Structure 1
Amino acid sequence: MRLVVLGGGESGVGTAILGKKKGYDVFVSDFGKIKENYKEVLTINKIPWEDEKHTEALILNADVVMKSPGIPDKAPIVKQLMEKQIPVISEIEFAMPFTDAKIIGITGSNGKTTTTLLTYHLLKQGGLNVGLAGNIGKSFAWQVADNNHEYYVLELSSFQLDGIVSFKPHIAVITNISPDHLDRYNYDYNLYIASKFRITENQTAADYLIVDNEDSAIQNWLQNNKTQATVYPFSLQEEIEKGCYLKEDTIYTNINNEEFTMPIKELALDGKHNVKNAMAATAVAQLLKIRKQTIRESLSNFQGAEHRLEKVLKIQNVQYINDSKATNVNATFFALDSMNTPTVWIVGGVDKGNDYDELMALVREKVKGIICLGVDNQKLFNTFNGVVDVMIETTSMTEAVKIAQRMAEKGDTVLLSPACASFDLFENYEDRGKQFKQAVHNL
Structure 2
Amino acid sequence: MNTNQNTANSTQSEMVGKSRVVILGAGESGVGAAKLAQLKGFDVFVSDFGVITDKYKKALESLSIPFESEKHTDDLILNATEVIKSPGIPANAPIIKKIVEKGISVISEIEFAKRYTNAKTICITGSNGKTTTSLLTYHILKNAGVNVGLAGNIGKSFAAQVATESFEWYVLEISSFMLDEMFQFKADIAVLLNITPDHLDRYEYKLEKYAASKMRIIQNQNADDVFIYCADDDETLKALKNIKPLAKSFPFSIEKKIDQGAYLEHDTIHILIESNNELTMTITDLALQGKHNIYNSMASGIVAKVLELRNPTIRESMSDFKNVEHRLEHVAKISGIDFINDSKATNVNSTWYALESMTTDVVLIMGGVDKGNDYSMLKDLVKSKVKAIVCLGKDNKRIHDAFEDDVEIIVNTFSAEEATQIAFHLAKRGNTVLLSPACASFDLFNSYEDRGDQFKAAVREL
CA positional deviation for 1:294: 0.5
Structure 1 residue 141, shift from structure 2 partner: 0.3
Of 434, 442, 452, which aligns to 1:423?
442
- 1:389 alignment counterpart: 408
Q: Which segment drifts farther, 377-386 or 97-106?
A: 377-386
Aligned match of 2:157: 139
Query: Are positions 1:162 and 2:180 aligned together?
Result: yes
Which secondary structure does the structure 1 equivalent of 2:298 belong to? helix
Alpha-carbon separation, structure 1, partners of 2:225 and 2:52: 38
Which digits, 9 at most, give the CA deviation of each residue in 1:30-64, with x for residues without a partner?
11111111111111101110111111111111111
Amino acid paired to 1:252: H
Using the alignment, how far apart are the partners of 1:184 and 1:57 within structure 2? 28
State the Cα distance separating 1:186 from its structure 2 match.
1.4
Matched, 1:172 2:190: yes
Q: Deviations over 1:339-398 (max 9, x none)?
A: 100101001111111111111100010001111111111111112124212221111111
For residue 60 of structure 2, what is the aligned residue in structure 1? 42
CA distance in 2, matches of 1:292, 1:203: 27
Counterpart mapping for 1:205-284 below 5 A: 205-258=223-276, 259-284=278-303
Aligned equivalent of 1:319: 338
Compute the displacement of 1:189 (Å): 1.3
- 277-286 vs 256-265, which moves further: 256-265
- Alpha-carbon distance in 2 for matches of 1:356, 1:194: 23
Q: Indicate the residue corresponding to 1:72 in structure 2.
A: 90
Q: Distance in 1 between matches of 2:216 and 2:406?
A: 41
Query: Does 2:204 correspond to 1:197?
Result: no
SS at match of 1:224: coil
Q: Which residue of 2 aligns with 1:364?
A: 383
Distance in 2 between residues matched to 1:324 and 1:300, nearest whole Å: 24
Q: Does residue 1:183 correspond to 2:212, yes or no?
A: no
Equivalents in 2 of 1:407, 1:33: separation in Å? 39
Partner residue of 1:335?
354
1:294 alignment counterpart: 313
Q: Distance in 2 between matches of 1:382 and 1:221?
A: 32
* Matches of 1:16 and 1:216, distance apart in 2: 40
- Partners of 2:177 and 2:388 lie apart in 1 by 36
Q: Distance in 1 between matches of 2:112 and 2:152?
A: 13
The whole-number CA distance in structure 2 between the counterparts of 1:337 and 1:61 is 52
SS at match of 1:307: coil
In structure 1, C-alpha distance between the alignment counterparts of 2:24 and 2:415, rounded to whole Å? 34
Match of 2:455 in 1: 436
Query: Match of 2:279, SS?
Result: strand
- Cα-to-partner distance string for 1:301-332 (whole Å, 9 max, x where unaligned): 00001101111111122111000000110100
Partner deviation per Cα, 1:1-47 (whole Å, 9 max, x = no partner): 11100111110000000000011110001111111111111111011
Aligned partners of 1:82, 1:159: CA distance in 2, in Å?
A: 17
Please give the alpha-carbon distance, in whole angstroms, between the structure 2 residues aligned to 1:389 and 1:188. Answer: 33
CA distance in 2, matches of 1:206, 1:284: 14
Tell me how far apart the structure 1 counterparts of residues 192 and 450 of structure 2 sit (CA, whole Å): 27
- For the pair 1:108 / 2:155, whether they are aligned, the reply is no
Determine helix, strand or coil for the equivalent of 1:381.
Answer: helix
Q: Deviations over 1:198-228 (max 9, x none)?
A: 1101111000010000111111111221221
In 1, the alpha carbon distance for the partners of 2:213 and 2:275 equals: 31
Indicate the residue corresponding to 2:11 in structure 1. none
The alpha carbon displacement at 1:196 in A equals 0.6
**Alpha-carbon distance, 1:257 to partner:** 2.1
Letter in 2 for 1:143: Q
The amino acid that maps onto 1:225 is I
Counterpart CA distance in 2 for 1:210 and 1:128 is 20
Relative to the length of structure 1, the TM-score reads 0.99
Amino acid aligned to 1:36: D
> Paired residue for 1:410, among 429, 447, 452?
429
CA RMSD of aligned residues (A): 0.8
Match of 2:102 in 1: 84
Q: Amino acid of the residue matched to residue 366 of structure 1?
A: K
**How many Å separate the matches in 2 of 1:404 and 1:384?**
17
What is the deviation of 1:256?
3.0
- How far apart, in 2, do the equivalents of 1:125 and 1:351 lie? 39
Deviations 1:394-442 (A, max 9, x none): 1111111111111111111110000001111111100000001111111
Listed as ranges, the gaps of 5+ residues in structure 1 are none
SS in 2 for 1:105: strand
Deviating runs (4+, > 6 A) in structure 1?
A: none
Structure 2 partner of 1:12: 30
The CA distance in 2 between the partners of 1:254 and 1:43, in whole Å, is 51
Deviates more, 1:412-421 or 1:254-263: 254-263
- Give the distance between the partners of 1:392 and 1:201, measured in 2 at CA: 46
Q: Aligned partners of 1:182 and 1:3: how far apart in 2? A: 30
Distance across 2 between alignment mates of 1:428 and 1:346: 16
Aligned to 2:370: 351
TM-score by length of 2: 0.95
